[in-house]
Amino acid sequence: MRKGTPMVALVALMVAIFATAAYAANLIEGNNHNNTLNETNGDDDMFGLKGDDVLKANLFLGVDDVDNAYGGAGTDFVYVNDGDSDDFAAGGAGPRDRCIVDDLSEVGNGCERVRVEPPVE
């Protein structure tokens, strides 16, 4: 009886696959009111939702994180100027959304006003 051996190998393989697939960005969400959202030093997906929101994905410099910040409805300030150009800023619906970026490649839809600024030390 050697039935057990292949099953152990299969379980080990599944654990390896799951460990790889489990990686995901942090989800940081506001609500339908005005919010100020602060990023983490890891990869973040930030959603302001409705209201006039401030999304700060520029709080950690020099960590090469990948942040995706979506202002949503309302007039939002979306900051992704953290010193790398790996992030994404979208104002979304609503007038006069301002996106502050390191590079124009980070600008998504709904950014009525775009500023390229160096990160704040």
- CB under 8 A, 24+ apart: contacts of 30-34: 30/72, 34/74
CB of 111 to Ca ion, least distance (A): 14
Render 82-106 in DSSP notation, one character per residue: SSSS--EEE--SSSS-EEEESSGGG
Footprint on residues 9-28 left by Ca ion (CB under 5 A) = none
**Alpha helices in the chain, H assignment, sequence order:** 4-21
Q: Distance (Å, rounded) from C-alpha 86 to C-alpha 92?
A: 19
Nearest residue to 71 (alpha-carbon basis) of 112, 118, 120 = 112
Tell me the site size for Ca ion, rule CB under 5 A: 16
Footprint on residues 57-96 left by Ca ion (CB under 5 A) = 65, 67, 80, 82, 84, 86-87
CB of 21 to Ca ion, least distance (A): 21
CB of 110 to Ca ion, least distance (A): 14
Q: Is 44 among the residues that bind Ca ion (CB under 5 A)?
A: yes
CB of 96 to Ca ion, least distance (A): 15
Candidates 56, 70, 92, 102: give the one binding Ca ion (CB under 5 A): 102
Q: Distance (Å, rounded) from C-alpha 70 to C-alpha 99?
A: 10
The residue ranges that bind Ca ion (CB under 5 A) are 30, 35, 39, 44, 48-49, 51, 53, 65, 67, 80, 82, 84, 86-87, 102
